[in-house]
Structure 1
């Protein structure tokens, strides 16, 4: 008989080692908890001592040959096995199996290694542990549930691994199917931070067009078709700018996006280029010198300015500016993730005059933050958006994402600090050209 001692953290770990060393015919003679290591009797760690034995004539079961796997697959499988191992060790410690209990009746067999040990209910072969045959009523025991839960956990992990590998294979095959020009376009859209949903949809459309025509498109042709498709998607939202009959324009948005400068640019455009009488209202009394900044622009443009501190001040301000053809209102930049702050700003936007409310966002911000802000204001009927700081970024996909995903109507693009030059009406064709850039070189 061959006897071997194992020092492990938990029984499942020992079972795996015993099967490897002694084979499935091995039996566990004794298990007990011991303490090892430490210093001067302190800080000792708990371990599990497992004594296993196998008949000398027993033949160790050979493991089947393994197929070579890719490095990334091997790493993932190893991660799954480690997770399963930790899960099994933790559960085995909390709910010990019968084999973990000490067996005095088999201790003598360990001491006298010359005596053969029979495979009884107390010393079962490991093969029997792997495939136990128990009555139905015993299947409800905690030990049985533990084994069933562990097996189900491993099955689920392997299923997830298989699905992941299928996904990787499909993506790899998809990359191989793309022509050189479409692959270059996909890289361009990724750099522009276009939503992957729209990017994949565009790539799929172009790939199908290549199949129908039986030829790979040139770079110029790919870019041309992509521009046509993007414009077609955006066109319904680009047709609605600021209403011509609007007499009050409210500007809302986070702090630091350039609302005050944008208002000055638009005031100069309407007053100088269109000859309209313009007035200012500001409620941005939270930010230091915000009123002084707008007052400076008002003095330069020679337009009146009214300051309001609450909704009760609005009727008086509108009365003072009643002879103006267009009133531009600046609101305070607040934390618009807060429903309270949005409601507070919205209370200042009530008027009996034809009006428009325009959300101002900076292209230097995160798309996720812009989406969160837009979602807050859409609840109050805001559907127009103005983008600033175009000159401070080289990624323009956020515009497309907000317009298409949030169904917002773009109005203007602002690109600098010069008043009134650095602002222009949103043009769908010009924007798509900016988004795609020049075709990649063949």
Structure 2
């Protein structure tokens, strides 16, 4: 029996080394987390210690690890080796070994460690099977489908939706009795994606709402967006609009909205707390529509979300719209969307369309979190750089031109 010890960053790294050193019939006997390196006991790094073994001729001397294992490890190794010898064969390294029969005095801790080893090997096997399946699936795809999958990956569309789209296309090809060319793949993809977005594609800001609140992180362009919508309502629809801002954390934000208010000849009220809201609403009582700007905060924090929600109180018909920038990370936007959705906020307006070429975040947030996009905004021109969300136009951006991808 040859026994070797490995110190690695993760278990998969050890598997490769064990295969090279001991062969495919080696058995992982024990794994545990250890700390190595450092200076005077500080800055030590976490590593994984792996003990592996392989049966050899009885005449060969057992190869000992470089450092003497602890008595606990020796006990586990001895128990497992005795079980393996009674069974008459060693298990393959990729197959979880059968749990050893515990001796009458085997400690509960040792049994837990042995079960941990089995679970680690099982998880590793499942991961490698999944990886192998993904590689096999990729090789089975046609060139147009591979190109589409690569495009969607570049657009940061979550694999759940890209895989589902590929499956739908393969089913469509099966029904058609042929393999689609590149243009057909893109056209069919657009049809499917637009159909997926159909339940969310007719969202708009409620025309019956007299007060509309805008919430979102710092720097997403809420103030400019509010000015664009106010100009649209004032110039194109002839409505009397009023502004309220609670973004008193940034003096520049108040000044910016005040500048827009002066240009559009729209009154502006500044509130510092929920207690100031009744006074602001009374001052704007003659206005048909009130647009409220809220402070941008770190909305990954539940506390900051609740602070903003406390300002969204009104006896008037009202609505709240979440504003997100397409230049942000999808993961961050998803967390913010989840925070606000708890309070019933399901409408979203995306900004900075002109500052990115990656559009998968919209599809991810709509399909995963059930958000309803109302507008897409781009640029600084008021009121021109904003338009209603249209599923077909958005999908064209997501897929790009089939002939140039």
CA distance in 2, matches of 1:410, 1:419: 20
TM-score if structure 1 supplies the norm length?
Answer: 0.71
The residue number in structure 1 matching 2:70 is 93
Q: Is the 8 A contact 2:29 2:117 kept in 1?
A: no
Shift of the alpha carbon at 1:333? 0.8
Cα deviation code 1:204-237 (max 9, x no counterpart): 0101211222211011111111111111111111
Where 1:140 maps in the other structure, the secondary structure is coil
Counterpart CA distance in 1 for 2:307 and 2:321 is 16
Structure 2: state its 5+ residue gaps.
Answer: 5-12, 32-48, 52-64, 76-80, 88-99
Query: Are 1:189 and 2:158 counterparts?
Result: no
* Aligned counterpart in structure 2 of residue 330 of structure 1, from 269, 293, 307: 293
The change in CA–CA distance for 1:356 and 1:96 in structure 2 (over 3 A counts) is closer
Q: Who is 2:353 aligned against?
A: 390
Residue equivalent to 2:331: 368
- Aligned pairs, how many? 347
Distance 1:153 1:279, change over 3 A: closer
1:303 to 266, 269, 275: 266
Given candidates 221, 228, 236, the residue that maps to 2:199 is 236
Task: Provide, for residues 162-192 of structure 1, a one-character-per-residue CA deviation record: whole Å limited to 9, x for no partner.
Answer: 4334323322221122111111111111100
1:164 is aligned, of 127, 130, 143, to 127
Alpha-carbon contact 1:139-1:145 (below 8 Å) kept: no
Aligned to 1:253: 216
Change (3 A) 1:278 1:217: same
CA apart distance, 1:240: 2.3
Coordinate RMSD, CA, aligned: 3.4
Q: From 68, 89, 103, give the equivalent of 1:139.
A: 103
Distance in 2 of aligned mates of 1:381 and 1:138: 55
Q: Any idea what SS the aligned residue of 2:213 has? A: strand
Once the two structures are superposed, the pairs formed by residues 288-437 of structure 1 within 5 Å of their partners are 288-437=251-400
Instruction: State the shift of 1:156 in Å.
Output: 4.8
Structure-2 separation of matches of 1:293 and 1:315: 24
2:213·2:320 contact (CA, 8 Å) conserved in 1?
Answer: yes
Q: Answer whether contact 2:14 2:50 (CA < 8 A) is retained.
A: no
1:383 & 1:145 partners in 2: Cα distance?
49
**Contact between 1:387 and 1:414, CA under 8 Å: does it hold in 2?**
yes
Q: Deviations over 1:274-312 (max 9, x none)?
A: 111111111111113221111011011111111111111
Per-residue deviation, residues 38-96 of structure 1 (Å, max 9, x unmatched): xxxxxxxxxxxxxxxxxxxxxxxxxxxxxxxxx99845846997884734479941338
Q: Deviations over 1:285-342 (max 9, x none)?
A: 1113221111011011111111111111111111111111111100111121222221
Structure 1: which 5+ residue stretches go unaligned?
1-14, 19-70, 99-126
CA contact (8 A) 2:321 2:349 kept: yes
Change (3 A) 1:159 1:347: closer
The 1-side partners of 2:29 and 2:384 are apart by: 61
Distance in 2, Cα, partners of 1:143 & 1:132: 21
SS of aligned partner of 2:170: helix
The match for 1:101 is none
Q: Whose radius of gyration is greater, 1 or 2?
A: 1
Q: How does 1:274-293 map to 2 (within 5 A)?
A: 274-293=237-256
